[in-house]
C-alpha cells in the first residue's frame, strides 16, 4: 500500500469522528471529568501533582504527524509518570499503565499561548496494550460509549502515529476547549501549536 493511500485512510478515519457515537457521549460524564480536573487550568497545580511536560518537548499537531493540517492539534502533553508507570524510553516510551480513571487522568493537554503560558484544553488517559492484555483484558477500554483509539507506529509512514510511545490505547476528552470534530476525537481543529517554542 502506498504511503499516500495510507495517509488518505488515516485522514478518513480521523475525520470520521463527527459521528453519532461522539454526539451521544454522556454530557454529565464529561461535565464530571471537567469539574474534577478544573484545578489544572493552573499549570502550576499540575506540576505540583506530579505532571511533567512531555520530555520530547513536542506539541503534537496533525500536520507534524503527516495528517491534514485542518484536523488541528492535541497540544503539549503533561504526563503523570506514576500513573503511566513508565518502564523505559528506548526505542519507545513504554510502561505498565492500565489506568482508566478520567476523574484522575494520567495526561493533561495544554495549548501554548503567545505569552508563554499554558492553557488547559483537555485530558487524556493512556494504557499500554501489552500491560492491558497481561491484566486479562480482551477488549480495549471504553469511555463515553466508545472504545479508546488503538495507537501503534507504522514505520512505512513519515509521521509517528504513536507519538513516541509503544503500542497503546488512548482516549482524549476535550473538557475545556470545544471540538467541532467531537468531544472524544484525538485532534482538535480549534487547538494550535503555533505558539509553541521548544522548552516552553
Q: What pLDDT, in 10s, does the model give residues 20-30?
A: 333 444 689 99
72, pLDDT greater than 50 = yes
pLDDT above 50 for 15: no
Q: Is the pLDDT of residue 1 over 60?
A: no
Question: Concatenated DSSP letters for 91-131?
Answer: SSBEE------TTS-SEEEEEEPTTS-EEEEEEEEEEEHHH
**Mean pLDDT within 79-90:** 93
Query: Strand pairing of 94-95 and 73-80?
Result: unpaired
Residue 199 pLDDT more than 80? no
More confident residue, 157 or 60: 60
198 Cβ neighbours under 8 A, 6+ residues apart? 57
Structure pTM?
0.84
pLDDT on residue 80: 96
Higher pLDDT: 54 or 102? It is 102
> pLDDT value at position 200?
56
The model's pLDDT over 122-148, given as tens digits with 9 standing for 90+, comes to: 999 999 999 999 999 999 999 988 899
Sign of the four-CA dihedral 155, 156, 162, 167: negative
Report pLDDT for 152. Answer: 95
Amino acid at each position: 500500500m502506498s504511503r499516500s493511500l495510507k495517509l488518505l485512510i488515516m485522514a478518513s478515519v480521523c475525520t470520521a469522528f463527527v459521528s453519532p457515537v461522539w454526539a451521544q457521549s454522556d454530557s454529565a460524564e464529561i461535565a464530571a471529568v471537567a469539574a474534577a480536573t478544573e484545578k489544572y487550568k493552573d499549570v502550576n497545580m499540575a506540576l505540583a501533582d506530579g505532571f511533567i511536560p512531555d520530555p520530547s518537548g513536542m506539541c503534537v499537531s496533525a500536520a507534524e504527524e503527516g495528517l491534514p493540517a485542518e484536523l488541528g492539534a492535541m497540544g503539549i502533553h503533561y504526563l503523570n509518570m506514576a500513573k503511566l508507570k513508565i518502564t523505559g524510553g528506548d526505542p519507545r516510551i513504554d510502561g505498565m499503565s492500565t489506568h482508566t480513571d478520567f476523574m484522575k487522568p494520567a495526561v493533561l493537554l495544554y495549548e501554548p499561548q503567545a505569552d508563554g503560558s499554558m492553557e488547559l484544553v483537555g485530558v487524556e488517559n493512556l494504557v499500554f496494550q501489552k500491560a492491558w492484555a497481561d491484566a486479562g483484558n480482551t477488549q480495549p477500554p471504553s469511555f463515553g460509549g466508545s472504545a479508546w483509539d488503538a495507537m501503534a507506529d507504522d514505520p512505512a509512514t513519515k509521521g509517528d502515529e504513536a507519538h513516541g510511545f509503544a503500542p497503546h490505547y488512548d482516549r482524549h476528552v476535550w473538557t475545556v476547549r470545544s471540538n467541532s470534530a467531537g468531544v472524544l476525537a484525538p485532534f482538535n481543529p480549534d487547538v494550535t501549536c503555533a505558539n509553541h517554542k521548544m522548552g516552553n
